[in-house]
Amino acid sequence: MADSAYFDHAATTPMYAEAVRTMTEHLPVTGNASSLHAPGRLARRTVEEARETVAAALGARPSEVVFTAGGTESDNLAVKGLYWARRAADAARTRVLASPVEHHAVLDAVHWLADHEGAVVEWLPVDSLGRVHPEALREAIARDPSDVALATVMWANNEIGTLQPVTELAAVCAEFDVPLHSDAVQAVGQVPVDFAGSGVAALTMTGHKIGGPYGVGALLLGREYAPVPLLHGGGQERDVRSGTLDVPAIAALGTAAELATARTADFARDVGALRDLLVAAVAGAVPDAVLNGDPDPAGRLPANAHFSFPGCEGDSLLLLLDAQGIACSTGSACTAGIAQPSHVLLAAGAAPDLARGTLRFSLGHTSTKDEVETLAAVIGPAVERARSAGLS
């Protein structure tokens, strides 16, 4: 049995050793990829080779890969940039269609557009599993296709792990000439992700969720789209993302993307089996625990197990487990520490008390059976103690 267990891979997963080596090899090399001299050309070659690798891994053309500082920037560039571009071309296009279960990088960008840029936000309904149905999207667009700027629906939910029917949603959008953005930060490396095959206009991915470094990611962006930039400067990355390129991190991102996507089937099989053991262990120790998201393994991320524990505060239970060497999350790491119900579960129709008492256990490429057994040994007593504290 392990002395400690890390179940927060959805927040950050360890870098692959190969990605560490790639990044380390490039850290001492001097050269700005925008410079014309030999060191600059060498840096540019490294960037373009990584661009080709990321594109091949995710079913895109190299010209469709825009490097960014990570998922939050990619989400903001897609949502705000596409909105501005569409509204500039047609002032009537102010309606933004979004699922209410998005990561806050999308939710807050959408709210900002409503507060500052005149966007009219329409939240798409989700079912009890947190899933948007194509019929609901079609109904929303069809009410007035002429005023829709864009739609945004994530590929896989970061809290409860539910997969969205992205290809079907993109097909609906295509009928009405509406660009669909999808945040695929959690999906890459866990399920097959094919940018061209999906039909989406823009797709977000990031390095530190797939065995790459922090602070680097990409927005896959169809060539026909030119979002208004968030950053202005040197005009790098198709004139939509200015800034000196982080060559070592981009090189490591390419390595991680290649490895993560090549290993997706093995990851789903092996980590999915560990996830099933974890679910059984928690259910055995806490019979009234509620597994959130799609109970069908085919409909959720293989590394995700998200529970509600009746009578518990999620933050209290997290800290009790942390004292036992168990690292997990109450949901998105970006909002950790804020005692509030899960917006994802509320949107899916859960009661506020149940939405407040949640924990997310997320596994990764370094997860082991020993870690699952460590959790199994302590989860029952921890829940009992959390419930007792709530009654006192």
Which of 131-145, 155-169, 318-332, 366-380 is predicted least confidently? 318-332
Q: Is the pLDDT of residue 118 over 60?
A: yes
**Residue with more model confidence, 97 or 354:** 97
Which residues have C-beta within 8 Å of that of residue 346, sequence separation ≥ 6? 352, 355
| CATH code of the domain made up of 5-14+263-391 | 3.90.1150.10
Task: State the pLDDT at residue 339.
Answer: 63
Percent of the chain with pLDDT strictly greater than 90:
94
> What type of residue sits at position 91?
A
Q: Is the pLDDT of residue 335 over 60?
A: no
Confidence tier at 306 by pLDDT (50, 70, 90): very high
> How far apart, in whole angstroms, are the C-alpha atoms of residue 202 and residue 78?
7
| Strand arrangement, sheet containing 358-362 | 290-292, 304-308, 358-362
Confidence tier at 332 by pLDDT (50, 70, 90): low
What's the burial of 147, exposed, middle or buried (CB within 10 Å: 0-12/13-18/19+)? Answer: middle
Confidence tier at 3 by pLDDT (50, 70, 90): confident
Mean pLDDT in the chain? 96
> How far apart, in whole angstroms, are the C-alpha atoms of residue 147 and residue 178?
10
CB 74 within 8 A of CB 206: yes
**Residue with more model confidence, 232 or 332:** 232
Adjacent-strand bridge partners of 97: 122, 151
Q: Is the pLDDT of residue 340 over 90?
A: no
> What type of residue sits at position 376?
A
| Predicted TM-score (pTM) of this structure | 0.96
Which residues have C-beta within 8 Å of that of residue 306, sequence separation ≥ 6? 159, 160, 161, 291, 292, 293, 358, 359, 360, 361
Task: State the pLDDT at residue 104.
Answer: 97
Rounded alpha-carbon distances, angstroms, from residue 362 to 42, 141, 213, 279, 286: 39, 35, 18, 11, 18
Task: State the pLDDT at residue 343.
Answer: 95
Residues 251-264: tens digit of each pLDDT: 999 999 999 999 99
Q: Is the pLDDT of residue 2 over 60?
A: yes
Rounded alpha-carbon distances, angstroms, from residue 299 to 179, 270, 275, 303, 344: 24, 17, 14, 12, 16
Which residues have C-beta within 8 Å of that of residue 296, sequence separation ≥ 6? none
Task: State the pLDDT at residue 1.
Answer: 78
Would you list the domain boundaries of the chain? Answer: 5-14+263-391, 17-262
A 10 A CB-CB count for 268 gives 19
- Residue 200, Cα to own-chain centre: how many angstroms? 15
Q: Is the pLDDT of residue 390 over 80?
A: no
**Residue with more model confidence, 3 or 103:** 103
CB 87 within 8 A of CB 146: no
> How far apart, in whole angstroms, are the C-alpha atoms of residue 351 and residue 266?
37
Active site residues: 334
User: Over the Cα atoms of the chain, what is R_g?
Assistant: 21
| Strand arrangement, sheet containing 217-221 | 65-68, 217-221, 202-206, 180-183, 148-152, 95-98, 120-123
Percent of the chain with pLDDT strictly greater than 70:
97
| CATH code of the domain made up of 17-262 | 3.40.640.10
